[in-house]
Amino acid sequence: MDNMNNTDERDMQNVNTDETAAPEEDNALVAEEAAAPKRRLPVAAFVLYGIAAAALAVYIAARLSPAFADFFNRHIGTVVRGFLAHLTGWIPFSLGEATVIFLPVLAVFMIVHACRRYADSWRSVFIYFCTVLSFVSLLFSVFVFGFGTGYYGTTVDKKLDLDRTTVSPEELYYTAYILAEHVNEESANVTYLCNDFSVMPYTFDEMSRKLVEAYDKVCDTYDFIPRLSSRVKPVMLSEPWTYTHISGVYTYFTGEANINTNFPDYTIPYTAAHEMAHQRGIAREDEANFIAFLVCMASDDPYIRYSGYLEVYEYVASSLYSADRSYYTAVTRRLRSNVTGEMAAYSAFFDKYRENVVANVSETVNNTYLQIQGTVGSKSYGLVVDLAVAYYRSAAYNNSSRTEQ
């Protein structure tokens, strides 16, 4: 009996001990949670949001005032673009391409990290989201301060005093005729392979150096184009990238001009000159195309001149084909067989990439982006025709004026 009583007493003591320990553990947890510091938004995030607010104010002002956009793009944007170009220029590969490639991996990592560490409360999730968003706002700030205001400044035709009026079929024919003559002249110094494609007779880096030299000449003539010692970079995944129909891209957040080297050689110098125009603050696509044309014409290298004349000829000829088939046929017959062979070879090359889902998505994204910036979208690339016609119209007028004098 005594043993049984002792056992009962011990059991009662254990029960009482357990009941006492439970509240003590709960109190300890509450105390620990109260003592733990609450998660707060980092100071850096507030700074980045402040910078983004300033960038938004600049962006709105640029859209409202071309004069302000010109000033900011020339004096502030040039510094930002130059800094980024020099910062990434020494890297042998495209940092912008590497960023795009690893972006999906980074996104997955951040989502998993957030679920594991910050899923304990909605407050933690919200703070983490705001922190990530602050870095996204940094990209917006770099875009505005380095490149975005260029879309809203004075147009190139006004800077060059070009008469950009309605273009007639006769003017298209006249412009295409002149370009065809230049293409024929330059093609005499071009080497063609048995597959009808021409060959760029130097390395990618040599081409980049030649284009910088040509840009320096153009800068001497047109002071709204800033000098910049930059380079263009080949894209590592050029072949799969061709399915997007993108031959080059300027990554504003790294300051790099990136070129798809899978495209035929004759397109590369002109494309490179186009992306280098973006590096120098020429944001609108038609204007970047036209500045690239001026740069190629100014080059001492015949292959770069050939590239510029032929690329712009194709733009003009395409418009002429829609305007007047007889004029188109007449000017096409003037081209040398090597040139028409190269154009036919390019068409055959592009057939492989012409119709695909990736190209449709890429076109939609690019078109939407350009429309947001106040342009006509992807059609703006072809508006270089208007500038080319205006350029040769002005040249013809100046020549006739000198003759009369």
Per-residue confidence (pLDDT) for residue 364, from 0 to 100:
86
- Mean of pLDDT values over 266-294: 96
Q: What is the spatial distance between Cα 345 and Cα 341, in angstroms, rounded to a whole number?
A: 6
Check whether residue 99 and residue 67 sit in a common domain.
yes
Q: Is the backbone of residue 37 left (phi > 0), alpha (psi -120 to 50) or beta?
A: beta
Check whether residue 80 and residue 171 sit in a common domain.
no
Give the pLDDT confidence of 198-214 residue by residue, as tens digits.
Answer: 999 999 999 999 999 99
Q: What is the spatial distance between Cα 84 and Cα 104, in angstroms, rounded to a whole number?
A: 24
Check whether residue 108 and residue 164 sit in a common domain.
no
Check whether residue 180 and residue 121 sit in a common domain.
no
What residues make up the domain containing 6? 1-36
Last residue of a domain, one of 152, 174, 202: 152
Check whether residue 243 and residue 383 sit in a common domain.
yes
Nearest in space to 147 (alpha carbons), one of 233, 54, 250:
250
Check whether residue 254 and residue 382 sit in a common domain.
yes
DSSP string, 75-106: IIIHHHHHHHHHHHHTSSS-HHHHHHHHHHHH
Scored b (16 or more CB within 10 A) or e, 300-318 reads ebebbbbbbbbbbbbbbbe
**Confidence band for 14, pLDDT divided at 50, 70 and 90:** low
Give the pLDDT confidence of 61-117 residue by residue, as tens digits.
Answer: 999 999 999 999 999 999 999 999 999 999 999 999 999 888 888 778 777 766 777
Check whether residue 142 and residue 2 sit in a common domain.
no
pLDDT above 70 coverage of the chain, percent: 86
Check whether residue 226 and residue 92 sit in a common domain.
no
Alpha carbon of residue 146 to chain centroid:
12
Check whether residue 215 and residue 250 sit in a common domain.
yes
Q: Name the token pair of 84.
A: 């980024």
Check whether residue 50 and residue 191 sit in a common domain.
no
| Cβ–Cβ under 8 Å, residues 229 and 213 | no
Q: What is the spatial distance between Cα 82 and Cα 242, in angstroms, rounded to a whole number?
A: 28
Between helix 122-146 and helix 78-89 the angle, nearest 10°, is 100
For the chain, what is the domain count? 3
| Cβ–Cβ under 8 Å, residues 296 and 309 | yes
Q: Taking the model in full, what pTM does it have?
A: 0.86
Check whether residue 200 and residue 223 sit in a common domain.
yes
Check whether residue 236 and residue 339 sit in a common domain.
yes
| Residue 291 DSSP SS3 | helix
Last residue of a domain, one of 102, 121, 152: 152
